[in-house]
């Protein structure tokens, strides 16, 4: 079979035909010897880690330690805790070593690394990344680039892989009052302020610097997300993206380590195709970004609205709620055109509280920058008017207003909380939705809302991200932007998620997310797409849904900068050249060539 694939490849003249069919794993005789790993460890001055599952202390053997296990169990949903381990994940594709609740007498079952990489270089210098790249290349070992491990599509996992970890490459976060290109590139007309993020920082670190200077930076809604990796390279939405554009749109220049191990500058003057690719074409694909310089903006006062809607009686009938959710969706374009943006969630039966003690309802915090309270109230008056008919009859509608002197004060009060993170037992999908779909047919919109609400016993949770419109639309003329073109006509991103308690229902939940809920949203917005960083990892149409018409151009750039396909991640550009040969009963396995 393998030789036939290679034979076909030789004639096709594409793919990576000179390589072996599969990457070497610890099960294979071609796996590097202990001596080879030790030599690598010497090269990286002892920074090579043999990875151990985060919850190893809960299991019999050398590392068993009840006290440590209790700590791990208590911290399992803390993303900062997971980020400190080279194999800690926030939304893993599976859990191969669960934390054990010893206090409830739970018994440890099985603990293996599973989809996680085998070794990690805990780099502090770019040269150590280069050593890892060279080693992986030379020894035919799968390579993974990681910062926080926040990725939800398995992009920072990798069975049998060597991982290069950029977290501790930290050369500083530098504020520039007035930006000038490091190479005097004249193609940049940005003369405002900028911040250089020199390595594996998370947004919390960068907000500290930005807020001290009282500037707005387009960064994560959650402060634990990494800055220069998957978030920015995959698009990056923010409480500030409606006003200033996506995170990818802010990138003025970057330092990128290529598959050859050399570091280049990517901007509008040098390697401008690579510059294009890392500004929205996805992390983990073209090279390792070691530093980025991004635009920042003077702060403005912010007026925020908190809106909650919930049924008056805990009745089974949620029709009124879904009617109101439809009315609210219809109003998004008009409030956003006047400056509102923010985040909301709604559910007919949420597994966690939406607000106060409510698990049935709708809630959002939406804010407008640089306008007065009176102006903001005037803008949202039609929205509140649309909800009057329910108020006191079927639903309880409540509004509060808050005024903040600066963006920093708003972010810290409303947005910047550290969310409790997910588990491996969940599936989600997202869809960008534009003005036409939100305003042209109420009947179709109401049908879609009904489908994605699901049944009460499904515990579906819907998040609505009012993060596009505004500057995200007008940045359409940025010729160095590779974000999914769907962003340029989107107002909101709707994210639908479900979990499962029992593995036997996992497949039906995944199918419901892909083929019922995801499909209902696609039907409403057939020409738009999904946000690749918050997307369905099982989407069969991922290439067009995540990248749109940019896919082919990005694939050509990938081929130019990474000719052997060293940087692989699932649903990333170039990934169809490989497949994971699943081990029995798993969703991971050796990485092998497909011949595409
Ligand atoms: C709690 C939480 C909150 C979130 N909030 C937001 C939000 O507000 N807005 C938003 O847009 N998204 C948000 N996301 C989604 C987020 O954008 C993705 O999870 C993203 O992949 C995280 O990037 P990372 O670099 O931190 O993660 P990682 O898992 O470390 O990396 C993700 C991908 O980027 C690659 N990568 C990492 N570092 C580099 C690098 N230096 N060079 C090249 N490739 C690299 C990895 O190989 C991988 O493919 C959130 C996710 C979580 C879990
Ligand atoms: C690498 O070397 C350091 C320092 O000598 C050692 O502590 C560590 O265990 C080594 N790593 C591996 C994977 O052997
Ligand atoms: C989360 O983990 C970090 C890192 O270990 C720790 O500093 C923080 O206190 C933890 N947060 C909570 C709520 O336990
Ligand atoms: C990685 O290296 C950093 C900096 O040298 C160190 O603080 C951290 O503890 C290391 N992490 C692991 C898991 O070894
Ligand atoms: C939630 O319910 C608890 C217990 O009934 C009650 O003590 C608490 O005040 C409620 N909280 C809110 C915000 O309504
Ligand atoms: C809904 O009705 C309540 C009770 O009459 C009132 O206090 C509240 O302001 C109304 N909500 C809105 C948005 O008008």
* pTM for this model (two decimals): 0.95
Q: Which atom of ligand 1 is nearest to the CA of 152?
A: 19
Q: Provide the pLDDT for residue 423.
A: 72
C-alpha of residue 425 to centroid of ligand 1, in Å: 19
Report the candidate in 126, 167, 163 with the shortest Cα–Cα distance to residue 51. 163
Token readout for 501 is 């308690």
Report the candidate in 289, 282, 288, 290 with the shortest Cα–Cα distance to residue 575. 282
Q: Provide the pLDDT for residue 8.
A: 38
Q: Provide the pLDDT for residue 5.
A: 38
pLDDT 10s digits, 360-412: 999 999 999 999 999 999 999 999 999 999 999 999 999 999 999 999 999 99
Domains of the chain: 34-165 (3.30.43.10), 170-298 (3.30.465.10), 304-548 (3.40.462.20)
Ligand closest to Cα of 118 equals 2
81 Cβ closer than 6 Å to some ligand 3 atom: yes
Among 81, 88, 224, 418, say which to mutate for ligand 3: greatest number of ligand atoms within 8 Å of CB.
Answer: 81
Ligand closest to Cα of 124 equals 4
Q: What string of DSSP letters covers 181-218?
A: -TT--TT----S-EEEEEES-BHHHHHHHHHHTTEE--
C-alpha of residue 41 to centroid of ligand 2, in Å: 6
Q: Provide the pLDDT for residue 349.
A: 95
- Which residue's CA is minimally distant from atom 23 of ligand 1? 230
**Distance of alpha carbon 458 from alpha carbon 423, whole angstroms:** 17
579 Cβ closer than 6 Å to some ligand 3 atom: no
CB 338 within 8 A of CB 377: no
Q: Provide the pLDDT for residue 316.
A: 65
Locate tokens 């330690």: which residue?
65
User: Distances from the Cα of 370 to the Cαs of 332, 373, 499, in angstroms?
Assistant: 19, 10, 40
Question: Which stretch of 248-252, 356-360, 515-519 has the lowest confidence by average pLDDT?
Answer: 356-360
Among 307, 324, 380, 398, say which to mutate for ligand 6: greatest number of ligand atoms within 8 Å of CB.
Answer: 398
Q: Rounded mean pLDDT of 335-354?
A: 96
Q: Rounded mean pLDDT of 90-118?
A: 93
Ligand closest to Cα of 142 equals 1
Residue 540 DSSP label: T
Q: Rounded mean pLDDT of 436-458?
A: 97
Report residue 4's pLDDT band, with 50, 70 and 90 as the boundaries.
very low
C-alpha of residue 516 to centroid of ligand 2, in Å: 49
Report residue 1's pLDDT band, with 50, 70 and 90 as the boundaries.
very low
**Distance of alpha carbon 166 from alpha carbon 229, whole angstroms:** 9
Q: Which atom of ligand 2 is nearest to the CA of 38?
A: 14
pLDDT 10s digits, 158-203: 999 999 999 999 999 999 999 999 999 988 889 999 999 999 999 9
What torsion, rounded to 10 degrees, do the Cα atoms 293, 294, 300, 301 define?
A: -100
Q: Provide the pLDDT for residue 126.
A: 95
**Distance of alpha carbon 545 from alpha carbon 548, whole angstroms:** 6
Report residue 138's pLDDT band, with 50, 70 and 90 as the boundaries.
very high
Token readout for 96 is 């191969």
**Distance of alpha carbon 264 from alpha carbon 267, whole angstroms:** 10
Report residue 12's pLDDT band, with 50, 70 and 90 as the boundaries.
very low
Token readout for 539 is 């989407």
C-alpha of residue 309 to centroid of ligand 5, in Å: 17
C-alpha of residue 356 to centroid of ligand 5, in Å: 7
Q: Rounded mean pLDDT of 410-430?
A: 82
pLDDT 10s digits, 144-157: 999 999 999 999 99
C-alpha of residue 256 to centroid of ligand 1, in Å: 17
Looking at the predicted structure, is the pLDDT value of residue 10 above 50? Answer: no
First to last CA, the chain: 15
- Which residue's CA is minimally distant from atom 12 of ligand 3? 78
Ligand closest to Cα of 75 equals 3
What burial class does residue 189 get, using C-beta atoms within 10 Å of its C-beta: 0-12 exposed, 13-18 middle, 19+ buried?
exposed
Q: Which atom of ligand 6 is nearest to the CA of 384?
A: 13
Report residue 19's pLDDT band, with 50, 70 and 90 as the boundaries.
low
295 Cβ closer than 6 Å to some ligand 1 atom: no
pLDDT 10s digits, 28-43: 999 999 999 999 999 9
Q: Provide the pLDDT for residue 120.
A: 98
Among 384, 397, 400, 401, say which to mutate for ligand 6: greatest number of ligand atoms within 8 Å of CB.
Answer: 397
Phi, psi of 287 (to 5 degrees): 170, 180
pLDDT 10s digits, 550-580: 999 999 999 999 999 999 999 999 999 999 9
Rounded to the nearest integer, the mean pLDDT of the chain is 94
Q: Which atom of ligand 5 is nearest to the CA of 357?
A: 1
Q: Provide the pLDDT for residue 188.
A: 81
Looking at the predicted structure, is the pLDDT value of residue 24 above 50? Answer: yes
pLDDT 10s digits, 272-324: 999 999 999 999 999 999 999 999 999 999 999 999 999 998 766 799 999 99
């Amino acid at each position: 079979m393998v030789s036939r694939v290679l034979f076909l490849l030789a004639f096709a003249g594409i793919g990576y035909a000179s390589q072996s069919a599969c990457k070497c794993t610890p099960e294979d005789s071609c796996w590097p010897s202990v001596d080879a790993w030790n030599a690598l460890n010497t090269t990286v001055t002892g920074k090579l880690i043999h990875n151990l599952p985060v919850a190893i202390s809960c299991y019999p053997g050398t590392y068993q330690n009840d006290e440590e296990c209790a700590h791990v169990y208590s911290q399992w949903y803390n993303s900062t805790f997971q980020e400190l381990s080279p194999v800690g994940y926030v939304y893993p594709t599976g859990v191969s070593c669960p934390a054990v609740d010893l206090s409830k007498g739970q018994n440890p079952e099985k603990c293996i690394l599973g989809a996680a990489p085998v070794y990690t270089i805990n780099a502090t210098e770019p040269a150590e990344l280069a050593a890892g790249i060279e080693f992986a290349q030379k020894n035919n070992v799968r390579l993974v680039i990681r910062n926080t491990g926040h990725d939800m599509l398995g992009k920072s996992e990798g069975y049998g892989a060597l991982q290069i970890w950029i977290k501790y490459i930290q050369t500083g976060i530098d504020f520039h009052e007035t930006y000038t290109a490091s190479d005097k590139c004249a193609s940049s007309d940005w003369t405002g302020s900028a911040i250089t993020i020199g390595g594996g920082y998370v947004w919390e670190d960068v907000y500290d610097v930005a807020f001290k200077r009282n500037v707005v930076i387009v960064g994560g809604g959650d402060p634990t997300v990494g800055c220069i990796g998957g978030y920015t390279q995959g698009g990056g939405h923010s409480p500030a993206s409606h006003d200033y554009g996506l995170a990818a749109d802010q990138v003025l220049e970057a330092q990128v380590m290529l598959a050859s191990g050399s570091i280049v500058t990517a901007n509008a003057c040098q390697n401008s195709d690579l510059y294009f690719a890392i500004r929205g074409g996805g992390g983990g694909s073209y090279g390792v970004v070691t530093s980025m310089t991004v635009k920042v903006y003077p702060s403005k006062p912010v007026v925020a609205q908190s809106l909650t809607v919930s049924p008056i009686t805990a009745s089974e009938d949620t029709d009124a709620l879904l009617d109101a959710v439809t009315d609210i969706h219809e109003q998004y374009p008009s409030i956003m055109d006047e400056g509102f943006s923010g985040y909301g969630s709604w559910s007919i039966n949420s597994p966690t509280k939406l607000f106060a003690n409510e698990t049935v309802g709708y809630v959002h915090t939406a804010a407008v920058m640089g306008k007065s309270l009176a102006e903001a109230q005037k803008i949202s008056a039609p929205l509140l008017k649309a909800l009057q008919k329910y108020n006191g009859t079927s639903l309880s509608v409540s509004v509060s207003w808050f005024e903040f002197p600066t963006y920093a004060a708003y972010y810290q009060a409303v947005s910047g909380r550290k969310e409790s993170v997910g588990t491996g037992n969940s599936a989600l999908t997202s869809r960008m939705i534009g003005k036409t779909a939100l305003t042209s047919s109420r009947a179709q919109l109401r049908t879609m809302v009904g489908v994605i609400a699901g049944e009460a016993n499904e515990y579906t949770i819907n998040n609505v991200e009012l993060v596009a419109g505004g500057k995200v639309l007008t940045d359409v003329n940025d010729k160095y932007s590779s974000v999914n073109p769907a962003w340029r006509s989107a107002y909101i991103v709707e994210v639908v998620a479900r979990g499962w308690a029992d593995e036997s229902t996992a497949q039906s939940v995944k199918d419901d997310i892909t083929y019922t809920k995801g499909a209902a949203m696609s039907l409403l917005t057939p020409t738009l797409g999904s946000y690749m960083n918050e997307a369905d990892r099982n989407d069969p149409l991922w290439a067009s849904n995540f990248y749109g018409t940019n896919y082919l151009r990005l694939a050509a750039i990938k081929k130019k900068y990474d000719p052997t396909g060293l940087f692989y991640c699932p649903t990333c550009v170039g990934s169809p050249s490989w497949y994971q040969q699943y081990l029995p009963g798993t969703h991971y396995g050796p990485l092998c060539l497909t011949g595409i």
